[in-house]
Amino acid sequence: MEGNVFVIGLGLIGGSVSLAIRNKHEKAFITGYDIDGRNLRLAKVLGLIDSEASSIREGAEAADLIIIGTPVIQAEAIIEKLCSYELKQNVIITDVGSTKKGITETALCLKEKGCTFIGGHPMAGSHKSGAIAAKPHLFENAFYLLTPYKDTSEESVDRLKSWLAGTKANFLVVSPEQHDSLTGVISHFPHIIASGLVHQAKDYEEKDELVTRLAAGGFRDITRIASSSPEMWRDILLHNKRVLLQLMENWLNQMGQVKSALEQGDSKGLFEYFAVAKQFRDDLPAGSQGAIPAFYDLYIDVPDYPGVISEITGYLAKEKISITNIRILETREEIYGALVVSFQSDHDRKLAEDCIRHHTSYETFLT
């Protein structure tokens, strides 16, 4: 496709979308804007964009596609600015935010101008940030939710999909309300629970300092998402307030039932609670990405002797398999393997598993 693309916010997500468009549409001219001038210049140097805009107005009024790559609060402010500009009538505007109902309501002013706004949410991420972290394959095989208005033409939705085809994502079209409910259940609320578990451990540490040491194993893994940006999650919760308050009520009711079964010594009820959860969890797709970024960990059951870590990393280096993290588990209750190696993708993890099995007799496990 040909045309002018304007990307506002060149962090991990905005920069990665920009790269995906560049790789797919060689004739597209990509202009970028970022409130951080150094990050904007870096994006130009790295080839994420062709040109730097001095203002949002400058880039927006020349654009055929506008991508707002900022958090929701900033995106809403940007949309209000866009509503006062002289935009092209055939322009498509989209965002990458984690909540959709509020922003589509804000964007009604664009609709009144005759412009097309289609909310977007690519469900992929990384612990890294900024233009330097952008990569064109970030969204490959991930879900990319689009939330057009009910009367948005299929042609416009298809045109946006064509622009974003280089992401190689799996596109799903849902309503803004359905989006917020879905992400509330399988992304937003789990972050609250993870943070709650960490708070509980922190409070208990005042009574017993061994908590921190014992939490280094499975507890640390199941609460990983609690390490996400506090600012981002504050804003997400406020923007998805209605859905999350209802989910909290449901959760409290469910915990009340478990508490009642425990108080009454209801063996059958407790068994069914865990059995139903196990069955549902075991039936979840294992090879696809969801709303929460996957952690590609390989657990290796290694003996404890000097040089075992360099042995493992040496085999991986020989096969040119990159790792993102490596650690030894001190507490391993219900977790198989003493060494945990993390990778950038499921493909790299599978290569590493084959490599370890080929070179050693150590057992490997996935979670």
Q: What is the pLDDT of residues 73-93, one digit of tens each?
A: 999 999 999 999 999 989 999
Domain shared by 187 and 227, yes or no: yes
Q: Average model confidence (pLDDT) for the chain?
A: 89
Domain shared by 71 and 155, yes or no: yes
How many Cβ atoms are within 10 Å of 256's Cβ, its own excluded?
10
Among the three residues 223, 254, 285, which one is the final residue of a domain in this structure?
Answer: 254
In the numeric block, the tokens 């790295």 are attached to 46
When pLDDT is cut at 50, 70 and 90, the band that residue 291 belongs to is: low
When pLDDT is cut at 50, 70 and 90, the band that residue 334 belongs to is: very low
* Nearest by Cα to 316 from 289, 343, 276: 343
Domain extent for 34: 3-174
The pLDDT of residue 217: 65
Stretch 9-32: mean pLDDT, rounded? 94
The pLDDT of residue 234: 93
pTM recorded for the entire structure: 0.80
Higher-pLDDT residue of 100 and 127 is 100
Domain shared by 130 and 10, yes or no: yes
Q: Check whether 136 has a pLDDT greater than 80.
A: yes
The pLDDT of residue 5: 97
Q: Which residues of 119-154 are buried (b: 16+ CB within 10 A; e: fewer)?
A: bbbbbbbeeeebbebbebbbbbebbbbbbbbeebee
Q: Give the side-chain half-sphere CA count within 13 A for 320.
A: 0
Q: Check whether 331 has a pLDDT greater than 50.
A: no
Q: Is the Cα dihedral 186, 254, 226, 230 positive or negative?
A: positive
When pLDDT is cut at 50, 70 and 90, the band that residue 212 belongs to is: confident
Q: Say how many domains are in the chain.
A: 3
CATH number at residue 329: 3.30.70.260
Domain shared by 317 and 249, yes or no: no
What percent of the chain is modeled with pLDDT above 90? 62
Span of 154-158, 179-183, 246-250, 299-303 with lowest mean pLDDT: 299-303
